[in-house]
A and B are shown apart, each in its own frame.
Chain A
Amino acid sequence: MRKGNERMTFPRMELVARMLLGAFYLLSGFNWIFGYIPVLPHIGMPADLPIRHEVVAEMVQTGWMYQSAKLLEIAVGLSLLANRFVPLMLAATLPVAFITFMLGMSLIVGDIADLLAGIGSASVLLAKIRAGAIGGLTITLLHVWLMLCYFDYYRPALAARAAPKEIR
């Protein structure tokens, strides 16, 4: 009985992780179009909407960079929820998760340094993590964990000396 339960642990965990990450990416991506979270950048946002990161404001200004990241989020969200092309989409959107992670880290890196130097406070750091950095941290952690779940699909791509083949 115990062995059977142990065997079920992983498939259930993977399903929960995939649904959670898929739903988050879909919500985050569709917010760009529908703007149901008005404090985050979206198509109909007022010109003076405060954007926490200068680089995000610049990405929106380009007219394609932030927008393509949001389209990728919608694509990976649908892929995870529908369980189609999951290893491919996880690999394709890892840079989006990484940039989200680094944006979050940029908010707290100074506070971590202060804490290590003995001049910062842990409560300030925790408050900042909760206010802005937790999204990037958790998304990337779950994204990478899901990639580990599908690691066998990436193994063939890890060949150090790969042989090209002509398409026939």
Chain B
Amino acid sequence: MGAADTGVRTLKRRAFLALGYLAIALQAYNMYLFVGMIGR
């Protein structure tokens, strides 16, 4: 495995984790809106 391979793997991992952070943050906001609808 060359240095380029490692770079691609790191980039892929970072993109994957960044997507996860985005998805979790959006869902936390969605959950806040959803829970806010309880009883209304």
Contacts and interface: CB of A to CB of B under 8 A. Distances in A.
| Chain B interface size, under 10 / 10 to 19 / 20 to 34 / 35 or more | 20 to 34
| Chain A interface size, under 10 / 10 to 19 / 20 to 34 / 35 or more | 20 to 34
Interface of chain B: mostly helix, strand, loop or mixed: helix
B40 A13 contact: no
A10 B29 contact: no
B23 A27 contact: no
Interface of chain A: mostly helix, strand, loop or mixed: helix
B20 A13 contact: yes
Interface stretch (A32-40, A42-50, A57-65, A110-118): A32-40
A164 to B, nearest CB: 34
Interface of B: 16-17, 19-24, 26-31, 33-35, 37-40
